[in-house]
Structure 1
Amino acid sequence: MDLDLAQVRAFVAVARLSHFGRAAEQLFVSQQALSKRIARLESVLGVRLFDRGSRGVALTEAGRRFLEPAQRALDAADLAVLEARREQPPLRIDVWGHLFGPVRMIGPVIERGVRAELGFSRDAAAAMTALTRGEIDAGFGRVPLPVDRQFQHRPVRLEPVDAVVNADHPLATADRARPVDLRGSTVWCPAPLRRLDFLDRLTDHFGLDAESAEVNLGLEHFLGHLTGDRVAVLPAGVQLPADTDLRRIRLVDPTPLYTWSLLWRRGRRLDALLRASAQAATRHGWLDYDPTRHWLPESLDATTHG
């Protein structure tokens, strides 16, 4: 039996996300096309892979057995593509937002069959200039919206953010807090708010006070000045420096999400990179979003269409 990998990829995306609409967005196809692929796959296999009901979609027993072998088949196919393209020049990708560790996000993407060379831009504006000049093929980081029509963008991850405080802070013993609970504290920022799109919107929306460092000398230096009533707001995956007495507090009700996106010039074909980013997002659940639990400073429609 010859399996169609596009159909298998559609199945894995829906299985990982438990949602046809979000899976279609990640694979850059219509929901109708996605449904047809899965229907054809079920027909070829002669089994039903999903139970579809009013509460959503769930794997059948056959679907659960098929999932991991299907994922391994896709991984093998991606490796085959990488080997076949080994002689092609690598993509030039600039990343920014270094305080928040963008490489930990783009790494799992380019490891999935994409040859790339990473450069390091100071900010999104510098990356856009490099894209306009043809010096790079793509950028990766937080993309302030809206963007100029000459560019396109796609989210790779919606990452929850945490509050980080020193051991003497009034919230230091809490394991979770609401964003509004940070009122009375001062959000400690690594640069002026006019240069920090996410923190600017977050502090404005939740009515929080902010204070900015005079110079950004890296995460350890930044957190070394987290004293008094100051609180840092960092993506949840950012590793705190060792041997510090800092406390990480999960933000809930709602949980703010930090958007990591790919950015490129309109018309530039980056099929392999976009496919790899969609696969990584599906595999890790990076684009999970629930408007009843999460807060985005921009609309989800704005982050997913560019």
Structure 2
Amino acid sequence: MDLDLALVRAFLTTAGTLHFGRAAEELNTSQQALSKRIARLESLLAVRLFERAGGVRLSEAGERFLPAAREALAAGERAVAAVSGTGSVVRIDTWGHLYAPMRTVAQAARALGPVRLEPGPGRDWPSVAQALLRGDTDLGLGRVHPLPDGCDAGLTQRLVRLEPVDALVGPSHPLAGADALRPADLRDSVLWCPAELTRLDFLRRFADHFALPRRQDGPNLGLDHLVQHLRDDAGCFTLFPADAPLPDHAGLRAIPLVEPTPLYAWSLAWRESARHPQLDALLRGFTETGRSRRWLDYAPRRDWLPDTDHAKLAGRTYDP
């Protein structure tokens, strides 16, 4: 049978709202016309996709159909964009929000030409990986690290930026007056981790590699909360990208780390089997920006990267 993508779109919109009236409004059609489309699709598939008793919900068959329907509609949209030259929107989810990932996207966007970006927030890398595999987004930007049980199988990644990180301390910290610090100088301080440490792969690997035994984690309640915590606790420090902005009223010290300088690896990730037609143009934009701003500078004797990031260096798009 031929699958009508208009019917698939009607199903996905209804599945997203679980309300025929709201779904009809989104599709700019009548509720009666929407109901007929859903009924037609159910007839073609010979299954019931929604249970309508006591409210609208997906049936078991509807739950099974949902991810494949998303892929089918996304593939159809990519096919149209590939031949129409319309420059379809690229959905990009970012994570690591305290480190302001949109700085990197915004700088690269100037070189992207006709590519239109639709940014969205991701909770963390595992959640963005799942969104990429489901087809809920086209691209991810953040720090990519290995996921357990092969949960990232089928995803491709490219390193786009290596950013030095500073030690961020409050004004009363014993080391606040230093011009520079070695990671080993921080062993008597407490590494503050603004989320569960198991979710913060970079901070965990930094603390393990440089034998920093004193660690404390807590909820990620935003940048202002992080700033206040460092102000209130003179024994705490955290790591923060050297180019990331802090609030004007922060009153904190960002001290460069040397011998070695830790680097935070920003990568793009996508599903190769669902490659967006604008992806090549987008990658060229990141490459041009990275070359001009020396985003991929790395010297082994000067810098430190977690072991899991070393393999990405082979795929750098230029040699600085």
Give the TM-score taking structure 2 as reference length.
Answer: 0.66
Contact 1:161 1:255 in 2 (8 A): yes
Question: Judging changes above 3 Å, is the alpha-carbon distance between structure 1 residues 194 and 303 closer, same or farther for their aligned structure 2 residues?
Answer: farther
- Alignment counterpart, residue 229 of structure 1, candidates 215, 235, 246: 235
User: What corresponds to 2:191 in structure 1?
Assistant: 187
Query: Structure 2 matches for 1:89-168, cutoff 5 A?
Result: 89-112=88-111, 113=113, 114-145=115-146, 148-168=152-172
Contact 2:159 2:312 in 1 (8 A): no
Aligned length: 222
Structure 2 unaligned segments of length 5 or more: list them. 1-83
Q: Structure 1: which amino acid aligns with 2:178?
A: A
Instruction: Determine whether 1:301 maps to 2:301.
Output: no
How far 1:223 sits from its partner (Å)?
Answer: 1.7
Contact 1:169 1:228 in 2 (8 A): yes
Instruction: Determine whether 1:205 maps to 2:212.
Output: no
Structure 1 unaligned segments of length 5 or more: list them. 1-84
- Alignment counterpart, residue 294 of structure 2, candidates 276, 280, 285: 285
User: What corresponds to 1:16 in structure 2?
Assistant: none
SS in 2 for 1:177: coil
Instruction: Determine whether 1:88 maps to 2:87.
Output: yes
Instruction: Determine whether 1:263 maps to 2:269.
Output: yes
Distance 2:315 2:297 in 1: 16
* Two-structure CA RMSD over aligned residues (Å): 1.9
How far 1:295 sits from its partner (Å)?
Answer: 0.2
Question: Judging changes above 3 Å, is the alpha-carbon distance between structure 1 residues 217 and 304 closer, same or farther for their aligned structure 2 residues?
Answer: farther
What CA deviation, in whole Å up to 9, does each residue of 1:172-210 have, x standing for no partner? 110100001101001111012110000000000001134
Contact 1:189 1:210 in 2 (8 A): no
What CA deviation, in whole Å up to 9, does each residue of 1:2-60 have, x standing for no partner? xxxxxxxxxxxxxxxxxxxxxxxxxxxxxxxxxxxxxxxxxxxxxxxxxxxxxxxxxxx
Distance 1:162 1:182 in 2: 12
Q: Percent identity?
A: 47
Distance 2:301 2:158 in 1: 23
Contact 1:154 1:304 in 2 (8 A): no
User: What corresponds to 1:247 in structure 2?
Assistant: 253
